[in-house]
Structure 1
Amino acid sequence: MANFYLSLFLFFALFLGHGVVELQASHHVYRNLQTSQSTSPNQPYRTGYHFQPPKNWINDPNGVMIYKGIYHLFYQYNPKGAVWGNIVWAHSTSKDLINWIPHDPAIYPSQQSDINGCWSGSATILPGEKPAIFYTGIDPHNRQVQNLAVPKNLSDPYLREWVKSPKNPLMAPDAMNQINTSSFRDPTTAWLGPDKRWRVIIGSKINRKGLAILYRSKDFVHWIKAKHPLHSVKGTGMWECPDFFPVSTYGLNGLDTSDMGPNTKHVLKVSLDDTKHEYYTVGTYSTAKDRYVPDEGSVESDSGLRFDYGKYYASKTFFDGAKNRRVLWGWVNESSSVNDDVKKGWAGIQAIPRKLWLDKSGKHLVQWPVVEIEKLRVNQVQVPSKLLKGGSVIEVTGVTAAQVSSCLYASKLVMNKRRHIWVFAKYQ
């Protein structure tokens, strides 16, 4: 039943050729992480629609992208247990966003710049279809620094091996740039400006002011911190996992992250470390000033617009050039206790990927599960049309599957802050 509620909520919530250094022998320590069996034979809360490895802890989706027709999902993963720690970048690939092939971890501590941890980051597709990953490492001084990794073999569509730049870290806090060494993480997908310089933002804070620190580069290796952040907001605390991307002002198609055309607006999303909630704003990006300004009336706090009002965090989008759409991923922590996680042998899932576009009003985003999800639908149960009012209950009989998803259309529902409609499935 818990799986039904999770699926139901999802539907209702919708309203580089530089020098590199090869990874060391420690690559073999974490081989064959994802096995075919779970830790416990009794797994009543595992899902059938959502991405999750057979065991252990997962959190933030990282470096999501499509390369040579293959979708890549990297994510924070503990190969040693069901609680946070020992984090590596696990890696799985898919041709349809539904069926996933596990690979060896792509990134794990092996350099001084990440010896104490490999944290979240993003992928950028450079000219010539060359993927590059920026990620946050923790150095021997426990500073948060930014590192670069690139594929070892571009002819491998599964990108099974990655190598790190010998120049890492490429961005680091010091006394000159006045960056908080413990609050400097989670680089975004980079974008190319009209001046042919790359930009990337990194989450940070000064006291209680949340910051999207901006860096620029001509070659994707040598980065210079801008004099001012892309955007900042007082009283919001640390900005984790920022995401910054353009959206079209007409139609449902997505845009490449470097698209700066006339019919675009921009979205800035931040994950608030203090509250573990996310919010986003829609606004205007000035390429001349490298400033982002949210639209008038935007709420920039924990009370602002969200992708999801449930347990949803560290979300990340990518542009799917094969289908001209922007796809959203997010981490769901099921909120069970540490003891329960250890007992069941796993913790965390990735939410169902969703297509994202700008509403006709231009004031907020619209989202819907990617169409590929429909491949999982079988044994449809139809319910006669009925006007639903506040407090209505519809009993759905004839359902025996362990996984149930709602196919009610939002256009047929009237929901507001004072009126809630619940639909339950009765299991036989």
Structure 2
Amino acid sequence: MYTGIDRGDINYEVQNIAFPKNKSDPLLREWVKPKSNPIIVPEGGINATQFRDPTTAWYADGHWRRDFMRWTRVRKPLHSAPTGMWECPDLYPVTVDGRQNGLDTSVTSSPKVKHVYDRKTERYVPDNPAGDEHHLRYDYGNFYASKTFYDPVKRRRILWGWANESDTAVDDVAKGWAGIQADVEVSFEVPSLEGAEALDPALANDAQKLCSLRGADVEGGVGPFGLWVLASSKLEEKTAVFFQVFKAARNINSTKPVVLMCSDPTTSSLNPNLYKPTFAGFVDTDIAKGKISLRSLIDRSVIESFGAGGRTCILSRVYPTLALGKNAHLHVFNNGKADIKVSQLTAWEMKKPALMNGA
């Protein structure tokens, strides 16, 4: 299934279908579009300019839930919440015991398997409806329109998405290819939380604003501490990915310390015309145990960071002018009053691909 644009109105989006011409072709290189397209059109009450990127039917109990060709609009929406456009919806099962292996979408009958979609009521039933209010996300950065697929070889579910450019189209072309440079993982030990500052109750559910107000260069109690990546030799350019720990806000029914994770690219480039927003999310981890990890995949323009083993993920697009290639440096930093110990730091750099004869 794919989204098409009706030629009569460039903003009128419809859903189409195509079938592989040769199912025995492992690459499925040729496709046939039936004359019955479009198979779904935006009926009354639907914004035709935001009617794109569907998810396909799923296989359950030995049968496809839909035949792909005949569609009937349900009486009630699957789910509704003030979270913006529902682009690229994705429904898949997970194990209730929290094990690491992923599941194929056909697995629905086991008592150890949970699916957010209730087949009997045809409704999306979240465990915590407040998740909509607080906008829980896969990634708190410049990452959108994600989709997943199941890898049956390694028994894992893989999610990928888009990281749109924020520089000019002319500069994008001039940069050439942007590929991975490094993969860095660091473990921090936090010996004491006594110096942690109290979290402002007004910011208890707004990590983004908290990050933009504090930033990496503002001294705190416990943190900010983390990595300066894509840093120039004299630190004129640097992108900070960091944690800061706060005491629980008075209006939250919890005494657990609050961990903020933030990506701050405000000093990432000497180019004054770039869009350099901060991104942030709270990390659902027990920092009282005294440890937290940070992993960053560093590209020429993409920085993807995973806090506490991936409990919070943030992607940023940055465009340094000095910190390029061999002139890009990596630093660990701590701008908090409390001591932070680096118990482990491991880094890998990707080598340039070697050209084979005849390639």
TM-score computed with the length of structure 2 as normaliser:
0.49
Which structure is higher in strand share?
1
Per the normalisation by structure 1, the TM-score is 0.42
